[in-house]
Amino acid sequence: MFPSSPFGLTTRDLIERYDAHAPRYTSYPTAAQFTPAVGAGQWAEWMNAASLDRAVSLYLHIPFCKRLCWYCGCNTRAMNRPELISSYVDLLLKEADLVLAQVGRPVRVGSVHLGGGTPNMLSPDDLERLFEGLRARFRLRDCFEIAAELDPEVLTPEWVEAAGRIGLSRASLGVQDLSPRVQAAVNRPESFETIRWAAKALREQGVSSLNLDLMYGLPLQAVEHVVTTLGQVTTLQPERIALFGYAHVPWMKPHQKLIQDADLPDAETRFVQSEAAARYLTAKGWQAIGLDHFALPHDGLAAAVRAGRLHRNFQGYTTDEAEVLIGLGVSAISRTPAGFVQNMANERDWRAAVGEGELPVARGVALTGRDAFIGEIIERLMCDFAVDVAEISRRRRRDLSEVAGAWPLLRRFRADGLVTVEDAVVEVTPLGRPFVRAVCAAFDPDATSFRQKHARVV
C-alpha cells in the first residue's frame, strides 16, 4: 500500500505522472550539454584568467578495473597490465604540467579526489609516485582532504599502507548489494568479510571518514536484499552512505545490455526499496542528506546541511566550496567560473594528445549569467529541497522572467502536493522529495532536449 497525497493521489499515480528521464544535476549545464565548440584553447584562457586566491580542487580519473561490473555507468575498462597503468600515471603528471603551464603561477590545492574506475588498481609504488609528483607541482600543504573511490575486492594491505603514507583521509567503498543472487546478476561478487576487513584496515591507516556506496533498483533485487545489506554494513558505522538508484542506460553503456530487462524491478518496487532504506538508516541514526546520501550527525555533510552550505558536484553531495576544479585523466571534467570542459573519453586519444604536449580537452560549455542563475536554483533544490528564487535573482541581478517557464509546471506540482510556492519561495514537500529531479527540470529550459541521455527520476 502506497502513501496518498493530500489530494487523493497515490505514489503510484505520482510515479506515472513524473517518472520521466531527467538529469541527476551534478552540474548545470549538465555534461549532456557540453559541445566541441569549447576546446583546449578556451580552457587555457579560462585557467589563465581564473582567480586562484582560494584553493582549488583536484580530480584524477583512473579508468581501470579488475572486472567490468555490468551496472557501471563510469568511464572505465578491465585492465590487468601493470605497465600500461604505470604509464598512465606518467601521463597524468604530464597533463598536470600542461595545465600549470597555462596558469603560470603557483596553485594551492584544498582537496584531491581519486575517482574511476578503480583507483586502487594503481600499484602502491605508482600511488606514492603519483602523489610525490603532485606535491612537486601543486601546493598541497593546506590540503584538507585526500579521498579515493575503492573496490574492496582489489584492496591489499600494501595498498592501504601506501594510502596511509600519502595521507588518505576519506575512502569510499563500493558495496552495492551483498546478496549473492544480485551480485551474480551484475557480475560483482563480493563478501561482507572483505568489506569489513577493508574498513578496519583503512581506519587503522588514518582514514577518518568512510563512505559506502550502495544501490537499489538492481536486477533481481528485492526490498529484503536492500535492508539485509544495510543491516550488515551499518555495523561498520560508516560516516556516510550513498544509496544510488541504478541507472539503466544501455543505449549509452552497451555492457548494460548484459542485464536482462525482465530482471529489473519496476518503478514502484524501486520506490519501495529506496523508502525502506531511508527509514532503516534514519532509524539507526544516519541523517538523510539531499536525494540519496546519508551521514552521521557528526560528519561534515550533516554539518553542511545544518549551516546551509551543502553543495553538489560530479562526485555527488559535497562540502567542497572551491570555485575551480582541475580534472586530470580520461574523461575528467574541469570547472572555472567561466565554464566547464571535459577531457577526451577515449583513452588512446587522451594518451596521444598528452604525449604530444596538447591539453586533451574534447568538449565543454561556457557559463552565461543565466546559466549561473538557473544552476544556483537547481543546486539549492537538490541540496536543501527549498529555494528563494527571488532572492537569487536580486543577488545575481537576473530577471525572474528568465525562469518564467517553470511556474506553470510548478503549479501542477503544487496541485499534486509535491511543492509549496509562496512569493517565489519553492519548497519540496516530503511527498515530493523522491521527485526533486523533476522539480529541478522545471527550471531547466533544455531538460526535454536531452531527455534520452538521462536515467529516469524514480
pLDDT at 449 exceeding the cut of 80: no
CA dist., res. 93 & res. 362, Å (int): 19
117 is in an annotated binding site: yes
Establish how many alpha carbons lie within 13 A of residue 231's alpha carbon, considering only the half-sphere containing its beta carbon: 8
pLDDT at 11 exceeding the cut of 90: no
Sequence-separated (6 or more) residues with CB below 8 Å from residue 267: 15, 19, 456, 458
Neighbours of 199 (CB within 10 A): 21
- Strand, coil or helix: what is 379? helix
Per-residue confidence (pLDDT) for residue 283, from 0 to 100: 98
88 is in an annotated binding site: no
pLDDT at 1 exceeding the cut of 50: no
Which residues share a beta bridge with 110? none
355 is in an annotated binding site: no
pLDDT, one tens digit per residue, over 119-145 is 999 999 999 999 999 999 999 998 999
CA dist., res. 71 & res. 344, Å (int): 22
289 is in an annotated binding site: no
Domains in the chain, CATH or no CATH each: 1-29+368-458 (1.10.10.920), 34-328 (3.80.30.20)
Per-residue confidence (pLDDT) for residue 21, from 0 to 100: 80
pLDDT, one tens digit per residue, over 151-163 is 999 999 999 999 9
CA dist., res. 223 & res. 216, Å (int): 8
Strands 311-313 and 316-318: antiparallel
Crossing angle between the packed helical segments 82-103 and 347-355, to the nearest 10 degrees: 50
213 is in an annotated binding site: yes
The pLDDT confidence band at residue 351, using thresholds 50, 70 and 90, is very high
374 is in an annotated binding site: no
222 is in an annotated binding site: no
Per-residue confidence (pLDDT) for residue 292, from 0 to 100: 94
Evaluate whether 245 touches 275 at the Cβ level (below 8 Å). no
The pLDDT confidence band at residue 453, using thresholds 50, 70 and 90, is low
247 is in an annotated binding site: yes
CA dist., res. 291 & res. 240, Å (int): 14
59 is in an annotated binding site: yes
pLDDT at 7 exceeding the cut of 70: no
**Three cell numbers at 124?**
602502491
Sequence-separated (6 or more) residues with CB below 8 Å from residue 59: 112, 113, 115, 314, 315, 325, 326, 327, 328, 332, 333, 334
User: Dihedral of CA 209/188/26/421: which sign?
Assistant: negative
pLDDT, one tens digit per residue, over 293-323 is 999 999 999 999 999 999 999 888 999 999 9
73 is in an annotated binding site: yes
381-406: average pLDDT: 96
Evaluate whether 349 touches 360 at the Cβ level (below 8 Å). yes
The pLDDT confidence band at residue 13, using thresholds 50, 70 and 90, is confident
Single out the residue of 174, 132, 124 nearest to residue 151, CA to CA: 174
Single out the residue of 335, 321, 337, 322 nearest to residue 383, CA to CA: 321
Single out the residue of 134, 88, 133 nearest to residue 112, CA to CA: 134
pLDDT at 3 exceeding the cut of 60: no
Average pLDDT, the chain: 94
